[in-house]
Amino acid sequence: MIFKSEYNESTNSWSKPEILQYPMNTPDDDIQFYIDPNLNSGYFVSNRFESRGLYDIFFFHESDKVLVEGGVFDEKGSIMAQAEVIFRPKRSTGLLVKSMTDDNGKFEVTLGANDDVTVDIRVNEQVIHTETFSTPEAGGIVGAFKVDFKLSLDKESLHEEEEPIEHYQPKYTHIEEIGTKFRKTNKARIGNIYFAVGGYALPAGSHDRLEALLETLQHNPDLRFEISGHTDNQGAPEVNMTLSHKRAESVVAFLVSNGINPKRLIAKGYGETRPLASNDDEENGRELNRRIEVAVME
């Protein structure tokens, strides 16, 4: 974790340390922080979601911000209250800035200046509109930057009866039996691996839950296995797809570090595309969808 403390020359003392928020800190390991003498840029090492290897070096610099205000309206000009507005800045891959429209269809967020931003408008857990806009240079305008979004559908169309979601319904096998002669291609589910939000590093205590899987692979040396990761529907679908793959890779890395031949394993991410239960609730819903599955490939 990275903290900030400022030195006061007049009192010869340091201020109380305060933890820095995202993107400086994440649920993953953020270490070896360095800042240049001008205090406006620097480097740190992290294995966060955006990394391309196990640990990467990240560069940061001071960034100007702008206040963005606007509204969401349907094609008739009616306000869209309680719509979720999701901003994805181009310069900050993986960062989501979310807001909800108020009773007047208005929202307000702070974003980086001089950036291209993709916006998703979501109603009833469904993205109904996407577009891109650019924020201005800092200081280029007086007050907030104004941007409105006009949707190509009316509010009434959003209340039409939706088709029921088809949930994924695999037949799970007990992990110790997944490699038996008559159960090839069957799946086993490994639950209670609670990854940090947005994270993919195996949490403390999860190794014990993977011991049965490790023993199964050791007792069936001729079989190949697919390790698949799954998420709930919170966040952008493309981010969830990548995140689920990285979580599967974390399990594969654990197995390989314990002597399993990597040629016997394949990691695959399915994101939010195979829900076991409704994503409307956390308990017995989203928590069931965040999982690791194992399947015999041959």
pLDDT digits (tens, 9 = 90+) for 96-154: 788 889 989 999 988 888 889 999 998 877 888 999 999 998 877 777 899 999 988 76
**How many residues in total does the chain contain?**
298
Report in angstroms the alpha-carbon separations of 116 from 71, 163, 187, 258. 19, 35, 43, 44
Average pLDDT on 43-51 reads 78
Which of 250, 244, 292 shows the shortest CA–CA distance to 272? Answer: 244
What pLDDT, on the 0 to 100 scale, is given for residue 49?
64
For the record, the structure tokens of 199 come out as: 């994270």
Q: At 229, which helix (H) or strand (E)?
A: strand 225-230
Report in angstroms the alpha-carbon separations of 212 from 171, 190, 255, 264. 19, 10, 11, 17
Residue 42 has pLDDT above 70, yes or no: yes
Average pLDDT on 225-238 reads 84
Helices 237-257 and 206-219 sit at what angle, rounded to 10 degrees?
Answer: 60
Residue 185 has pLDDT above 60, yes or no: no
Q: Where is pLDDT greater, at 158 or 297?
A: 297
Greatest CA span in the chain, whole angstroms? 77
DSSP-derived 3-state class of residue 225? strand
What pLDDT, on the 0 to 100 scale, is given for residue 125?
72
DSSP per-residue codes, 60-96: EE---EEEEEEEEE-TTS-B-TT-EEEEEETTSTT--
Q: Average pLDDT of the chain?
A: 80
Q: How far is 247 from 163, CA to CA, in rounded Å?
A: 31
Backbone angles phi, psi at 178, to 5 degrees: -65, -25
Alpha helices for 118-236 (secondary structure H): 206-219
**Which of 72-81, 85-94, 119-128, 280-289 has the largest mean confidence?**
72-81
For the record, the structure tokens of 284 come out as: 């017995």
What pLDDT, on the 0 to 100 scale, is given for residue 214?
87
- If you ran DSSP here, which 8-state letter would residue 284 be given? I
What pLDDT, on the 0 to 100 scale, is given for residue 232?
81
Q: How far is 221 from 225, CA to CA, in rounded Å?
A: 11
Sign of the CA dihedral 117, 123, 127, 128?
negative
What pLDDT, on the 0 to 100 scale, is given for residue 194?
65
**Which of 72-81, 170-179, 275-284 has the largest mean confidence?**
72-81
Report CA Rg, the chain: 23
pLDDT tens digits for range 259-285: 999 999 999 988 888 887 776 766 666
Return the minimum-mean-pLDDT range out of 90-99, 154-163, 167-176: 154-163
DSSP-derived 3-state class of residue 204? coil
Q: Where is pLDDT greater, at 165 or 122?
A: 122
What pLDDT, on the 0 to 100 scale, is given for residue 50?
62
Domains belonging to the chain, first-starting first, are: 3-61 (no CATH), 65-159 (2.60.40.1120), 175-296 (3.30.1330.60)
What pLDDT, on the 0 to 100 scale, is given for residue 73?
92
DSSP-derived 3-state class of residue 132? strand
